[in-house]
Amino acid sequence: MIKKLFIFKMRYVYFFIIASILLSTVSNVSFGKDKTKNESLIVFVPNTLESIVKDISKQFEKQKSCKVILNVAGTHVLVTQLKNGAECDVFFSANKRYIDSLKKAKYIDKYEIFAKTKLCVISSSPDVKKFEDISKKGIRLCIADPVSPIGMYTKMVIDKIKNDNKSLYSNIIGNIISQEFELTNVIQKVKVGEADAGIVYFTDAKLTKLKIITIPEKYNVVASHYVAAVKKTKNSKLAKDFIAFIKTKTIAKLLKEKGYE
């Protein structure tokens, strides 16, 4: 009787072990679901691209069942963070100079253009109605410091003015009250009335309720934004999938809606 009971118990134990193994195996089968579920992707995004990359990330998260973590700051700040060891999978740059520096330092293998925009003037002042008005006496103009991508592009615009119309150039330079390290600071100063006008990306101006004034074509520049997968990413497949996703027709349509070229 005891022997039979022992055999019965052992059979029960064996059955339990086999059932556990089978359940464990079944639980690991994806049944067609994306293997990226519960994975996360760290994306470095310059201030100017925060809104559009947020929209793209939400769509990507739904498609891949993953989590996209955005680290938002000025491109120059993001480059410093990456070089100091911050973890990053995908890097967006607001200009070519900084993305080139990452390639040269071997943080990335290659990069490509993500989107393009142009510059414009924003204003909350009734005295600024056309571009030339930023040269009027008494107009307070805020621009970005050349250390930032928007500052570099702004300098290119001002240099074009200098070569074409020295009088206009001198008056504009004389009206500059501050050079901010961040694009967001330029916008904020105009919003709160600390400046009458500012020079920013057109795509950022669209997100504000401020007056938008076109910069003449002969002075304006095309601002290209770039994207790359970081070499030391812990999630190479997901990073490549993300970059492939932003090249789809759906995202191209979204970029156009947001004012990008």
Task: Give the annotated binding-site residues for molybdate.
Answer: 75, 201
- As annotated, the binding site includes 75, 201
Tokens of residue 247, six digits: 């090249």
* Contact yes or no for 94/150 (Cβ under 8 A): yes
* CA distance between the termini of the chain: 85
| CB atoms inside a 10 Å sphere around CB 206 | 15
Of the candidates 185, 143, 187, the one whose C-alpha atom is nearest the C-alpha of residue 161 is 143
Cα 59 from Cα 126, distance rounded (Å): 40
Eight-class DSSP state of 75: H
Cα 39 from Cα 233, distance rounded (Å): 13
Cα 87 from Cα 91, distance rounded (Å): 11
